[in-house]
Amino acid sequence: MSIQDLIMNLQKYWTGQGCYLAQPYDLEVGAGTMTPDTFFRVLDKRPWKVAYVQPARRPTDGRYGENPHRVQKHFQFQVIIKPSPADIQQIYIESLSSLGIRLEDHDLRFDEDDWESPTIGAWGVGWQVLLDGLEITQFTYFQQAGGIELMPVPVEITYGLERLEMFLEKRDNIYDLNWSSDTTYADLRMREEREFSEYNFSQANIAKLRKTFAMYEEEAKNLIQKSLLLPAYDMCLKCSHVFNLLDSRRAISVTERVKMIGQIRTLVNQIALKYTGREASS
């Protein structure tokens, strides 16, 4: 099974569970959690079921295409269901069986791993799912996002597509994976990994990035004032990515890190409050 087969299988499985199939968000994000299809939709009380592939960028994880496991961009398959169904764990386990994995022959474990994203004021409780020691999924019951206690509670299932594919193909190098029957991961992504690693670690212009951060932050503030919350949130995502780039240039001190994360979180929390109509009258 190639990566594209894997994607198609998961899409089929989760749309079969009633999920609407979204398309990847068109901004740089560190995780599928950060896209509006997750972030905004978990805040309110309405039921929500969605599945989508999301490319996730983590500049510091780049290795110039030389490490068999680490890449600065990878693909997640993200599922959000709200409220969390009582048998969601079983539904998830069956998704693995639907990929042709005979679980009786393997060791499937749910290891305590609580998730937290200080940038978007979110945390949850759950596990990393290990299949024969390989982490293939992050499984989380969201408790809070944008600083707001979530009710009903959404469950988030994030498959690491490359990891899962490495398991399915029994590979130990990510670049050997088959994207399709005649195209490898290296064919599609090697050049991108090399060039972006060089950019992330050496070329990204620190001074300009700092300015950009300030610009996006200001823009977000203005947009929040005007209650244009989706565009405001886009600005926060841009801030977050710029922050990640600065981080990969090792341009951020420990105190500065706390401060910048705090700046983004403040904005995101304001957006969440306004979006849910809980904004404190000022």
Residues that bind another protein (CB under 8 A): 67-69, 83-86, 89-90, 93, 103-112, 114, 125, 127, 130-135, 141, 143, 151-153, 155, 166-167, 170, 172, 253-255
| Tokens describing residue 65 | 């295409």
CB 109 → another protein: shortest distance, Å? Answer: 6
CB 150 → another protein: shortest distance, Å? Answer: 8
In this structure, what are the phi and psi dihedrals at residue 75, rounded to the nearest 5 degrees? -115, 130
Q: Which of 273-278's residues contact partners 24+ apart within 8 Å by CB, and which partners?
A: 273/146, 273/147, 273/148, 274/224, 274/227, 274/229, 275/40, 275/43, 275/44, 275/146, 275/229, 276/43, 276/44, 276/148, 278/148
Closest CA to 145 of 51, 273, 250, 258: 273
Give the nearer residue to another protein in terms of CB position, either 103 or 230.
103
Strand partners, 49: 81
Give the nearer residue to another protein in terms of CB position, either 90 or 225.
90
Burial of 5 (0-12, 13-18, 19+ CB in 10 A): middle
Cα separation values, 183 from 4, 234, 246, Å:
10, 33, 33
CB 225 → another protein: shortest distance, Å? Answer: 32
Give the nearer residue to another protein in terms of CB position, either 8 or 258.
258
CB 258 → another protein: shortest distance, Å? Answer: 9
Residue 147 region by backbone torsions, left for phi larger than 0, else alpha for psi between -120 and 50, else beta: left
Query: Token pair 């203005």 is at which residue?
Result: 222
Give the nearer residue to another protein in terms of CB position, either 36 or 83.
83
CB 22 → another protein: shortest distance, Å? Answer: 23
Give the nearer residue to another protein in terms of CB position, either 4 or 89.
89
CB 203 → another protein: shortest distance, Å? Answer: 22
Give the nearer residue to another protein in terms of CB position, either 149 or 182.
149
